[in-house]
Structure 1
């Protein structure tokens, strides 16, 4: 017989951290004398000058910090090896679900390492052609495709582009048949959908251009406009928001072109709801919901019957029906009642699909327009199912299924029979069968049970020495459900554990779960995260020497608060595009709209004191040994402005005790994350993983060497 011997060469771990890079020399960050008065308390803000994103001084600081960071990263011996593996694993064809517009079927495709996915289309004969290539928008891949919507007959396309990752967009209008731009570009559009009224024109939303910096100045009066095809943008009519000051306004037209639905809100939770009859030019704007006490939206209509998704009197959401002639909540009737699981509904192919979260895992049911349950959709396993949306006339319903070890596979569902077949299965060089992903429940500080998904190689030895990334978000009613990531796959290949905790503040268990992590209960979120880390350590998945915590945006706040409250708990901290100056977050761009979750330092003395107690920028203590930290942000982030990260990094560099590095990695011509090029995404993930493993003491990556022996009898 021929015997093959597999020798596993494990990563070398330093017996002493003395071999690591020592005494990182940080740029000199000057300190100003700005002092703010909050009620009767004075608060120093020595790095206020870093808020000025237009100053040459700030630009020089960014350049100097990046030089230090990239010099440090360049000396990590396995950084390029990680990048090469990420590129290799990322290099597979990715095809999206198709949608029918006019006489064509449109779909996105990426041949593997294209910075932006390309929009293709097929005609009735199946002939395929390239329709729109965002990779041609800029030479460096930093301009991306945003929102897009076709006119009702599919003959005209309106699409937005983002330059350098900014939330400010330009809107381009194209003849879909000739693929030629048909009129001037719309500019200064932000936080906007695009929704056509027939072929006449489309609705979009934006703010007035702010005074001062476009990337950081406050924007808080959103307006809904109508752009009539063939006219200039300056002639666009304000439909909503001129008189009523709202921070977020959106407008969408029903599929039958009969109604305009408007949502308006002052925060990221709770909205007013309006409807206007588009068949009558003189029809009034009818109020459906006149307060901000619920999230409600029209998801479908059947003639004059409206179907509304709402959490009013239903924290886990329900669908109700009402006639447009008298649509106030007192007239609503249950269509799909609330259940114990959180509902996310959609429509397609003449049916409703109720996508429920059961402990952060998808369960999907199909209903007809009378409210009758047609069937339970058989999913391929435990994970996340998305899609199930499209036109009422669609003959096929597409959905995608994924989990932490299963790449997203697209399925085609025949809605009459319920039969699902694989439409597109990606060919990823990752052996899912060698890994396991399981859900556990752990107990937080106050006794609340919190779910967490833990993913790793099968047969993992629980000896407390496994490199582990603990990830979470914990805010804004956002749910973290199982998904596949190439970056995480590489981490798993190298023997890492990836754990995701479903903290309070998210939406996994409905409005009550969300509210339990807001305002004066925000500390619950940090306690939940700390308890997740303590569970992983107590069960010997890892130890403090091999634990990294990671999160972005609100999750960046989570990491910043946790590392300042419990710096002993982890070896590495990775706050990305974080909200880190909690006393001033509401003064930048659309930050004031986040007050439902956070409250503000101006609300009351009690609220100020509560926020100050956990605000990361204000809780870095001199003489404390903080974990090895790499703050990441983008210089064009106009959602969570980079000043948050700048000030936090400056505080850490000034006050850190010991030799753990505190770096900041600032992407240039990049924003909050959406539309980032594949090349930039790969490099960032390589840097994050290299920094993490290196500061856990690893000097090499695990490798499997295969040796063949001579034939043996």
Structure 2
């Protein structure tokens, strides 16, 4: 057993300052090493913890148990951990209601009374009536770890198809019930993944994969995706194969049917960005699939059809996106005509009530415009404030829609929008123990290592001292064209109300400034992402918000890679680090589940010697410095994560502990059970995770939060 001496805060001191500490012993489990190596372009790379990739072995299970015992023992030593959990629970206990959507004669909406593990789907014909429960995911399992994965109504609203996710897995199993009676049919459709359910007449299209071998369900590569059509009331074995590409096993597909059921569209993907697009005229039994666009260099999706014309959202020759119109009989790009041109701001689009609503990101904040189907501007939509608005979608016949608005200090609120007049009115706003007037949000622009200006949101209580001693939580993502926008978090309030600062930079790799911003953080430019994140931390320190002794870094998935790479490059930057469900082995990520799809952002170790060397230079598990002093690290992962398999985190934590046995700060891993990559996590598990992270951060900063001092 390896030993580490670390310093702990004395929980009975009063000031929110570094505390006198006492030494305790922490014993890491001994992790077996094997003589496993790979050779990449003549370079030999050791992989001594390869055995931890077998997530079904007893040996791995014993290792997980031993690591959790050490971590749980450490966390149980934090005197104020229960107070943190209690406050998180108290803040979370308020009614949360989603924006309603119209389905036949009913309005449907999700509601959580406060601490329910899963939100319940209700319906009502008039909002003055008492809502009835339509579907309660809390009934799917006794412990709340089975979640609703997706839901889709048939066009006549006779049937509802819904899918479930068990233990956080990306695998989905679908069921069908009568919408009116809520009677469950015998249909059971398995091995669905990364797919919706798009109805056509008395059935729906979906993507599935072949059933994996027993034991490989959560780790085997997902290949040979296929689109099937399932007819209501039949066994899955009778489903009709609609589309596949057996010559290209990495292809995945999406299928959608136009609202008028005229067209079937097939989206083909090999990565997380770039897709091909095909159309089939369902009104003509003799028609075949016709290519709209081939190749995977750009992103395209169907906004709607207008008779024979297709309305397409694309970034082809428009990095910030544009909307084009084309006849389906000659749909290739040389025939496209601009309908809503590209602007300097990134745009997405949706439809409702015979109108097109475009959403623009202006320095990561939302602006909405309303157009007709000829591309004529009707109005700029007045929003309730500066923040994030979403939900401007609905059916062709809708006269109203419901959208949500939120910001860092505005809870998720729902507004009703009159499509004809453009008037908004508040539909529902939650009530909780929080006064937004006590907090302020600002957006700053800082300079990264190469001179690039990067925006960052900073949130904190009004009147904080810029003394370098404010506990600061730095969070980002930086990948896959994903944009980070202002949003409200009750768990974040616990950090803020106890004098903490929250900072969120919109670093490269994301989609905040279009495809060029995204590409600037991919493949041979990936290190830009880490430099942007490091520069954000340096800005917060230089401006007096915090110092390295009070800075915590957090990121999940690709953001876990971000944190792991950052603390290898700059172990002195922060006091605490949370690499969550991260991609930590950049040489082997492509061999598991959907990992191959990430190559569009990362490249792979097999592409070329140059690409291998670049990945090897920052891969978190391969660049841990035995001579560095690392921050207090708590790696987090889950046993049912089949997006980023937990082996990434297992190998990374084992290597950290092996190479830095005498690190003055703890190097731990927290492994959740019956949970996955994050989606659908029960309320109870979410509260426990946040309580552990906040407690761990304050404890290692030597800070006693205000909520603990009140108990003294």
Using structure 2 for the length normalisation, give the TM-score: 0.96
Distance of 2:466 and 2:385 partners within structure 1: 26
Number of the residue aligned with 2:49: 47
Q: Is the 8 A contact 2:456 2:505 kept in 1?
A: yes
By how many angstroms is 1:244 displaced? 5.0
Number of the residue aligned with 1:682: 687
Q: Choose the corresponding residue for 1:105, options 96, 100, 107.
A: 107
1:6-35 CA-to-partner distances (Å, cap 9, x unmatched) read xxx96443443x33x633111111111101
2:201 is the counterpart of 1:190: no
Distance of 1:565 and 1:627 partners within structure 2: 12
Number of the residue aligned with 1:82: 84
Number of the residue aligned with 2:599: 595
Number of the residue aligned with 1:701: 706
Number of the residue aligned with 1:410: 414
By how many angstroms is 1:123 displaced? 2.9
Please state whether the residue corresponding to 1:25 is helix, strand or coil. Answer: strand
2:274 is the counterpart of 1:270: yes
Q: Choose the corresponding residue for 2:71, options 46, 69, 72.
A: 69
By how many angstroms is 1:384 displaced? 0.7
Distance of 2:245 and 2:353 partners within structure 1: 38
By how many angstroms is 1:177 displaced? 1.3
After superposing on structure 2, the runs of 4+ consecutive aligned residues of structure 1 that deviate more than 6 Å are 703-706
Distance of 1:613 and 1:529 partners within structure 2: 17
Number of the residue aligned with 1:711: none
Number of the residue aligned with 2:251: 247
By how many angstroms is 1:635 displaced? 0.4
1:520-560 CA-to-partner distances (Å, cap 9, x unmatched) read 00000000000000000000100000001100000000000
Distance of 1:587 and 1:669 partners within structure 2: 23
Please state whether the residue corresponding to 1:644 is helix, strand or coil. Answer: helix
Q: Choose the corresponding residue for 2:540, options 536, 548, 572.
A: 536
Distance of 1:347 and 1:104 partners within structure 2: 20
1:413-445 CA-to-partner distances (Å, cap 9, x unmatched) read 101111100011011211111000100000000
Number of the residue aligned with 1:180: 183
Please state whether the residue corresponding to 1:364 is helix, strand or coil. Answer: strand
Distance of 1:207 and 1:301 partners within structure 2: 30
Q: Choose the corresponding residue for 2:451, options 447, 450, 459.
A: 447
Please state whether the residue corresponding to 2:223 is helix, strand or coil. Answer: coil
Number of the residue aligned with 2:326: 322
Distance of 2:706 and 2:52 partners within structure 1: 38
Distance of 1:654 and 1:419 partners within structure 2: 61
2:470 is the counterpart of 1:466: yes
Cα separation, partners in 2 of 1:543 and 1:487, compared to 1, 3 Å: same
Q: Is the 8 A contact 1:624 1:655 kept in 2?
A: no
Q: Choose the corresponding residue for 2:671, options 661, 666, 674.
A: 666
Number of the residue aligned with 1:692: 697
By how many angstroms is 1:350 displaced? 1.8
2:28 is the counterpart of 1:26: yes
Distance of 1:221 and 1:183 partners within structure 2: 27
Number of the residue aligned with 2:3: none
Distance of 1:82 and 1:494 partners within structure 2: 10
2:639 is the counterpart of 1:635: yes
Q: Which moved more, 1:122-131 or 1:202-211?
A: 122-131
Cα separation, partners in 2 of 1:11 and 1:376, compared to 1, 3 Å: farther
Number of the residue aligned with 2:167: 164
By how many angstroms is 1:703 displaced? 6.8
1:139-174 CA-to-partner distances (Å, cap 9, x unmatched) read 010000011100011110100000000011110111
2:61 is the counterpart of 1:38: no
By how many angstroms is 1:704 displaced? 8.6
Taking the TM superposition and a 5 Å limit, the aligned residue runs for 1:344-355 are 344-355=348-359
Number of the residue aligned with 2:146: 143
Number of aligned positions between the proteins: 695
Q: Is the 8 A contact 1:101 1:153 kept in 2?
A: no
Number of the residue aligned with 1:709: none
Distance of 1:360 and 1:202 partners within structure 2: 36
Please state whether the residue corresponding to 1:597 is helix, strand or coil. Answer: helix
Number of the residue aligned with 1:556: 560
Q: Is the 8 A contact 2:101 2:402 kept in 1?
A: no
Q: Is the 8 A contact 1:247 1:265 kept in 2?
A: yes
Using structure 1 for the length normalisation, give the TM-score: 0.96
Taking the TM superposition and a 5 Å limit, the aligned residue runs for 1:310-709 are 310-656=314-660, 657-702=662-707
Distance of 2:530 and 2:544 partners within structure 1: 21
Distance of 1:127 and 1:277 partners within structure 2: 43
Q: Is the 8 A contact 1:210 1:218 kept in 2?
A: no
Please state whether the residue corresponding to 1:681 is helix, strand or coil. Answer: helix
Distance of 2:130 and 2:432 partners within structure 1: 27
By how many angstroms is 1:278 displaced? 1.1
Distance of 2:233 and 2:674 partners within structure 1: 33
Cα separation, partners in 2 of 1:105 and 1:702, compared to 1, 3 Å: closer
1:101-147 CA-to-partner distances (Å, cap 9, x unmatched) read 22222111110110000011113684521111000100010000011
Q: Is the 8 A contact 2:83 2:708 kept in 1?
A: no
Distance of 2:515 and 2:230 partners within structure 1: 36
By how many angstroms is 1:210 displaced? 3.0
Distance of 1:416 and 1:165 partners within structure 2: 41
Distance of 1:705 and 1:528 partners within structure 2: 38
Distance of 2:16 and 2:369 partners within structure 1: 50
By how many angstroms is 1:603 displaced? 0.5
Q: Which runs of 5+ in 1 are unaligned?
A: 1-8, 707-713
Distance of 1:545 and 1:635 partners within structure 2: 32
Distance of 2:588 and 2:557 partners within structure 1: 15
Q: Is the 8 A contact 1:102 1:155 kept in 2?
A: no
1:320-349 CA-to-partner distances (Å, cap 9, x unmatched) read 011111111011111110000000111112
Distance of 1:582 and 1:243 partners within structure 2: 27
Q: Is the 8 A contact 1:97 1:398 kept in 2?
A: yes
Distance of 1:522 and 1:123 partners within structure 2: 51
Q: Is the 8 A contact 1:10 1:701 kept in 2?
A: no
